[in-house]
Amino acid sequence: MKLTVKLVDIGTREVMLNIVDARNIGVLTSDRVQILNETRGVSVAAFVDTTATLLPQGSIGIYRITNERLGVNDGDIVEVRKAERPASLQYIKKKMDGEKLSNEETYAIIKDVVSDDLSPAELTAYITASYIHALDMDEVEHLTRAMVDTGEQIKFHTHPIVDKHSIGGVPGNKISLIVVPIIAASGLKIPKTSSRAITGAGGTADLMEVLAPVEFSATEVQQMTMKVGGAIVWGGATNIAPADDKIIIQEYPFRIDARGQMLASVMAKKFAVGADLVVIDIPVGAHAKVATVQEGRKLAREFIELGDRLNMRVECALTYGDSPVGRAIGANLEVREALRVLEGAEVPGSLIQKSVSIAGMALEMSGKAPRDMGNKAALQLIRNGEALKKFRQIIEIQGGDPNVKSDDIVPGEYEFVVKAPATGYVIELNNRSLISLARTAGAPHDRGAGLLLHAKKGSRVQAGEPIFTIYADRSWRLQKAIEEGRSLMPVVVEGMLLDRVPHESKWE
Amino acid sequence: MKLTVKLVDIGTREVMLNIVDARNIGVLTSDRVQILNETRGVSVAAFVDTTATLLPQGSIGIYRITNERLGVNDGDIVEVRKAERPASLQYIKKKMDGEKLSNEETYAIIKDVVSDDLSPAELTAYITASYIHALDMDEVEHLTRAMVDTGEQIKFHTHPIVDKHSIGGVPGNKISLIVVPIIAASGLKIPKTSSRAITGAGGTADLMEVLAPVEFSATEVQQMTMKVGGAIVWGGATNIAPADDKIIIQEYPFRIDARGQMLASVMAKKFAVGADLVVIDIPVGAHAKVATVQEGRKLAREFIELGDRLNMRVECALTYGDSPVGRAIGANLEVREALRVLEGAEVPGSLIQKSVSIAGMALEMSGKAPRDMGNKAALQLIRNGEALKKFRQIIEIQGGDPNVKSDDIVPGEYEFVVKAPATGYVIELNNRSLISLARTAGAPHDRGAGLLLHAKKGSRVQAGEPIFTIYADRSWRLQKAIEEGRSLMPVVVEGMLLDRVPHESKWE
């Protein structure tokens, strides 16, 4: 059917049809139509919304994402027909039936994911099926390669290229801001792509953005890395392994992170930036993503095996994941804390130790430090100011102010100090509650929002002593966080009353 | 955030936000917001579309389905905030993890399905998880009850109420048009709700609509049944078990029909119309939904057990499902064939036999016929004209012409006769190819479109004799069907050449 184009500024891969035209074409809401732009010889499939009044018969509303591929103008005539069902739906069905998918089948699915040719529901079926019928290592390798091949890739002509990744779940894990400068300062190259927070209080990209722009193309990342040895950018802007973000968005409602997809997601990004040596940080703890050391070791072996299949040398660090890393949670607070460490601060010990351990592994793997001397070499690069100097070069090449100092970065103007209700030991810091509180205070969107912990797990506090401060950029956000803090109780002091239950029984 | 309403005529449960407002609320495309209409005290959740230009900041576009619940007008002010995640998502996750769901958990999911509080992707995750981790009989019972309780129900004060169902997959299965009149003519009551074709060439509702309107409320179905003993309506118009249609739509891309959901879907509709006695027709055959008699018996036992749990007496008939029932496929052709049988035609035997067998089972179960005499009693009600008289009463009460005759119902004006390419026995009639061909010719939308089989499986044909005729209402549809027929070859005559492969090897 020939229809006249009306462009509609809605950000989805859909089109709008008058309900009568839809019936004549033989489609319902959510079905697919194929739209042919004969002038440009481009044909695009899109999902159907229907209307009785917004569009007259004979017209088609083309939404923004649909038109990014179709490239038509208001008033153009397009040919519209019922679309064929993509072959990848059969492969998803096959996975639902518990069968193993071939390399080609996995590629077909991921290609359709990247080109938005699968609806969110269809992609969710694939994710659910892969979550239940866990991918084996062949399938994980296929998925990783498909994610790499359907996106941009960076090729370096020098080697080795280093990369690192933390699998997340621990608040305050700002170590990349210290690890990347150390590694680059040693003379190695590390093109670090990172994520923004989805469920956390701030991803590395959110933190780095306090200091400099983080949105660059893959080519720019390569060029910056060649010039100063490193970069810390938002992966979402690069078109590296773009399938991954689309998968993560659909996993979000269920808070799942299927093992096979997680392995592929991490390693595809490392492979696509041309990494030869990769250090993976696996936080372990009751409130982290990985609950036990056994589970952590198993995951580590899987990362290593997948690395071998892709010709990347992988080492993993199981790290303590039951408490925040350092004392700061939230963009500005974390950046200030990391800068202070690079400027020579002796605390917090947990942050410094973890950063030099991870950086040290990379130095040893590359031969920049002898075996068991990586930590020391990494610490030396902080102490002698080289890491700070390198970080400033990275900030500068990304377009930030290279003269920034930790004191320039300030937390939100609204604050509330939470005091110990009793004297005793801090026996619990709940990661999830701390993250939730920081988000309620405005993180990651409000950069000044977050938490600063004064007491850490195992430390002794006196009644009335501050245990943490909540910061916010907006007063109402602070109020909401204070209220939420009362019910979540993210920090528990031994001996403190959790609740008081009044006596309601009667005298007999 | 307070926003000004602009109503938007798009038929989905969404709202449109300016991208800046969306960021301030803290939501992205596909996230949920809660919208509060303070005047009416109504609060509704909806999914977010974003735009940079269609709506100014400070406004919210409310789509049609969203406003069905919200009830606001252009210019109204509503309060909009980020919505809570529905609890049912946790239960879906639990099912993904292979755990059994309780009655309450299943109810929460189905309630959210009916109220559109789950996105298509979230519902698909539930369907996929239930397909892979098959529901046990407790869960099927819970699902059935939840489907019934979240929709309308019919209560009768007389008993027994009879119902029948065919699980489908066989083309030309118009038996309800004969079975319902027979049962009603015997003095029993049968409020038959039926479906429109999704993947088939015509559902019973599509067929009945040739003769009379089929869209009625549950109350109207009850009243019509009390007056004339039966009705044949489209279930989709009644709001009986509305969850079922929403589930089926999401299953469609994968062509799945999970056993637990199918059991619940069928039995919820029977339970909701107040049925006491139910006959289930299970076609068995290589090209039917159920491939073997063993599988059919297992499914029959499950229907019977589920019936027992719901206090319905169920009997099942395993029927021959490898060939079409009768000779006609497509709305008008099937209706004409069924009317001819009620008018006294002696053929087609397969249609008459199947109809009286199914009707006879109901007559026996209700005591209207002695054991093993049901077939004969049913046939008698055709032969003495009572079934036709009753069918005319049903047509009349639904608003159709009670004087309709089979000769009034004509197939499409465009036709093409497919002739036997060779002399021999008809060795294959492929159900799926026949259905596909009928759909290409225009079924179910074009009522005159369809196929009329002249030879059936096992019959002997001479080269050049007609084996089937394709009918269409539109000439281009007929052309497409002819082309498709050449490649699908739905009817195979023994000894006919399937293809000719030329000799390409060379002399040595």
Pairs of CB atoms within 8 A across A/B: 114
Is the predicted pLDDT of residue B281 greater than 50, yes or no? yes
Is the predicted pLDDT of residue B507 greater than 60, yes or no? no
Write out the DSSP string of B434-453.
HHHHHHHTTTTTSTT-EEEE
Look at B124 and A129 and tell me if their CB atoms are within 8 Å.
Answer: no
**Listed residue (B384, B377, B365) closest to B190, CA to CA:** B365
**B1-32 pLDDT tens trace:** 899 999 988 888 899 999 889 988 888 888 89
Q: Provide the percentage of residues in chain A whose pLDDT is more than 70.
A: 97
Mean pLDDT of B159-176: 91
**B368-426 pLDDT tens trace:** 999 999 999 999 999 999 999 999 999 999 999 999 999 999 999 999 998 888 888 88
Nearest to B125 among A85, A92, A254 (CB): A254
Q: Where are the domains of chain A?
A: 2-82, 88-133, 162-241+253-406, 414-493
**B72-102 pLDDT tens trace:** 999 999 999 988 889 999 999 999 999 999 9
User: Residue A93: closest CA among chain B residues belongs to which residue?
Assistant: B254
Mean pLDDT of A286-300: 88
**pLDDT category, B495, cuts 50, 70, 90?**
low
Return the CATH number of B162-401, one of 3.40.1030.10, 3.60.90.10, 1.20.120.80, 3.40.47.10. Answer: 3.40.1030.10
| Interface confidence: ipTM more than 0.85 | no
Nearest to A124 among B16, B121, B249 (CB): B121
**Listed residue (A99, A169, A90) closest to A130, CA to CA:** A99
DSSP B218: H
Q: Which of B31, B138, B149, B257 is catalytic?
A: B257
Task: Measure Cα distances from B87 to A254, B150, B309, B440 in Å.
Answer: 11, 17, 28, 44
Q: Which residue has the higher pLDDT, B460 or A226?
A: A226
Q: Are A314 and A305 in contact (CB under 8 A)?
A: no
**pLDDT category, A498, cuts 50, 70, 90?**
very low
- Per-residue confidence (pLDDT) for residue A495, from 0 to 100: 60
Q: Which of B53, B117, B132, B250 should we substitute to test contact with A (largest number of A Cβ atoms within 10 Å)? A: B132
CATH superfamily of B88-133: Transferase, Pyrimidine Nucleoside Phosphorylase; Chain C (1.20.970.10)
Q: Provide the percentage of residues in chain B whose pLDDT is more than 70.
A: 97
Look at A49 and B12 and tell me if their CB atoms are within 8 Å.
Answer: yes
DSSP B85: P
Q: Are A493 and A462 in contact (CB under 8 A)?
A: no
Look at B253 and A54 and tell me if their CB atoms are within 8 Å.
Answer: no
In A64-189, beta strands by DSSP E? 77-82, 162-166
Residues 6+ apart with CB under 8 A from B68: none
User: H or E segment at A192?
Assistant: strand A190-194
CATH superfamily of A414-493: Pyrimidine nucleoside phosphorylase-like, C-terminal domain (3.90.1170.30)
Mean pLDDT of B441-462: 89
- Per-residue confidence (pLDDT) for residue B508, from 0 to 100: 40
Nearest to A132 among B122, B132, B254 (CB): B132
**B212-221 pLDDT tens trace:** 999 999 999 9
Residues 6+ apart with CB under 8 A from A282: A167, A290, A296, A299, A300, A316, A317, A318, A319
**pLDDT category, B248, cuts 50, 70, 90?**
confident
**pLDDT category, B433, cuts 50, 70, 90?**
confident
Q: Are B312 and B277 in contact (CB under 8 A)?
A: yes
- Per-residue confidence (pLDDT) for residue A506, from 0 to 100: 46
**Listed residue (A99, A7, A84) closest to A43, CA to CA:** A84
CATH number of the domain at B2-82, please?
Answer: 2.40.40.20
Half-sphere exposure of A486 (CA within 13 A, CB side): 6
Report the C-alpha gap between B436 and B429 in whole angstroms.
13
Ranking A332-336, B136-140, B183-187, B237-241 by mean pLDDT, the lowest is B237-241
**Listed residue (A374, A369, A320) closest to A348, CA to CA:** A320
User: Residue A89: closest CA among chain B residues belongs to which residue?
Assistant: B254
User: Residue B18: closest CA among chain A residues belongs to which residue?
Assistant: A10
Residues of A in contact with B16 (CB under 8 A): 10
Look at A253 and B133 and tell me if their CB atoms are within 8 Å.
Answer: no
**pLDDT category, A214, cuts 50, 70, 90?**
very high
**Listed residue (B174, B211, B178, B197) closest to B409, CA to CA:** B211
Look at B10 and A54 and tell me if their CB atoms are within 8 Å.
Answer: yes
Nearest to A12 among B19, B29, B131 (CB): B29
Q: Which residue has the higher pLDDT, B251 or B506?
A: B251
CA distance to partner chain A, nearest, from residue B247 (Å): 12
Buried b or exposed e, range B312-340, using 16+ CB within 10 angstroms = bebbbbbbebbbbbbbbbbbbbbbbbbbb
Is the predicted pLDDT of residue A508 greater than 50, yes or no? no
Q: How many residues does chain A have?
A: 508
Report the C-alpha gap between A191 and A227 in whole angstroms.
11
Name the class of domain A162-241+253-406.
alpha beta
CA distance to partner chain B, nearest, from residue A204 (Å): 19
